[in-house]
Amino acid sequence: MTRSVLMCRPEYYRIDYEINPWMRRANAVDGPVADRQWDSLVTLLRGSGVDVLLVPQAANVPDMVFTANAGVVLGRRFIPSNFRFPERQPEAGLFVEWFEDHGFQVGTVHEPHYWEGEGDVLDAGDAVFAGFRFRTHAGALDHLDEILGKPVHRLELTNPRFYHLDTCFFPLGGGRIVYYPGAFTAQGLALIETSFRDTFAVPEVEANRFACNAVVAGRSHVILNSGCPATEAALQQWGFTPLATPMDEFIKAGGSVKCLLLTMDSFGG
């Protein structure tokens, strides 16, 4: 359950380059619609009791809105990412500056491997799960093991459309997982099945609508993209209240609800 997040208002959000299979420069963002979708997400988060902190966007980093990739927060410590693509690398310094200004201690243990923060490293309560291959190098996870102080289970990602773990894997706490089987190896699927008590395998059509890229907000709300009825039904069966909100303008860049926030209170922090 998330109580505090860092987000970035989409002031300069655009599709300027193509670094994942969702992005097409020709498929331009509709600015006013993106603003409305982002505002609605913030309203739902705040209405669910989540504290939303804001970092200002710089003009040269259109993907900075996806704050999940900034790094991970451990209590009052911030461990910054090492972005894979040069297009996103200038974000790192901007996030570090924000965390320093807000009194966080900043670590640098990720060198020399690339890794993309909470996009690929998710806290599931007793254990941490980390995705690797497309944006996080497996070697980076050795360094993370040392600092997270929890076992880190590795999951190799196999499908370039699901290039970050948070696009296909959504731990809800209490032994529950929503995930997309088409994004993992047979070994990864076996690990998921044995690690969680209640599992919901998202159908492909809803995985493509980023059903897994969701957040538990407050006690029992789950905020996710609209158009995922099977996932919503599964969430209801588990006693959650799904709050669906359109995120299409962000899916143009390969992200949805979860990508747009960095949790400030994960990893036992």
Q: Which of 131, 188, 242, 255 binds ligand ARG (CB under 6 A)?
A: 255
Helix (H, G, I), strand (E, B), or coil: what is residue 255?
Answer: coil
Sites for ligand ARG among residues 77-136 (CB under 6 A): 88, 119
Q: Which of 259, 261, 262, 264 binds ligand ARG (CB under 6 A)?
A: 259
Point out the catalytic residue in the list 110, 143, 164, 221. Answer: 164
Closest to ligand ARG by CB, 175 or 249? 249
Q: Contact between 228 and ligand ARG (CB under 6 A)? A: no
**Residue 3 and residue 51 in contact, taking contact as beta carbons nearer than 8 Å:** yes
Using the Cα atoms of residue 41, residue 42, residue 48 and residue 51 in order, give the sign of their dihedral: positive
Closest to ligand ARG by CB, 96 or 183? 183
Compute the CA torsion angle 136, 141, 144, 149 (nearest 10 deg).
Answer: 140
By CB under 6 A, the count of residues binding ligand ARG is: 16
* Amino acid letter, residue 88: R
Sites for ligand ARG among residues 4-23 (CB under 6 A): 19-20, 23
State yes or no: is 259 an active-site residue: yes
Helix (H, G, I), strand (E, B), or coil: what is residue 144?
Answer: helix
Longest dimension (CA), the chain: 45
Q: How far is the CB of 250 from ligand ARG (least distance, A)?
A: 8
Stretch that binds ligand ARG, among 1-9, 49-57, 94-102, 250-258 (CB under 6 A): 250-258
Q: How far is the CB of 259 from ligand ARG (least distance, A)?
A: 3
Cis preceding-peptide flag for 181 (omega within 30 of 0): no
Closest to ligand ARG by CB, 20 or 48? 20
State yes or no: is 168 an active-site residue: no
Q: Contact between 164 and ligand ARG (CB under 6 A)? A: yes
Q: State the burial class of residue 25 (Cβ atoms within 10 Å of its Cβ: 0-12, 13-18, 19+).
A: exposed
* Amino acid letter, residue 153: H
Closest to ligand ARG by CB, 23 or 42? 23
Q: How far is the CB of 230 from ligand ARG (least distance, A)?
A: 21
**Residue 80 and residue 70 in contact, taking contact as beta carbons nearer than 8 Å:** yes
Q: Contact between 264 and ligand ARG (CB under 6 A)? A: no
* CB contact set of 125 (below 8 Å; sequence gap of 6+): 171, 173, 174, 175
Q: How far is the CB of 68 from ligand ARG (least distance, A)?
A: 4
Please give the distance of CA 231 from its chain centroid, rounded to a whole number.
18
Using the Cα atoms of residue 25, residue 31, residue 36 and residue 40 in order, give the sign of their dihedral: positive
Six token digits for residue 74:
């451990």
* Amino acid letter, residue 163: Y
Sites for ligand ARG among residues 29-88 (CB under 6 A): 63, 66, 68-69, 88
Q: How far is the CB of 64 from ligand ARG (least distance, A)?
A: 10
Residues annotated catalytic, as ranges = 164, 259
Q: Which residues bind ligand ARG (CB under 6 A)?
A: 19-20, 23, 63, 66, 68-69, 88, 119, 164, 166-167, 253-255, 259
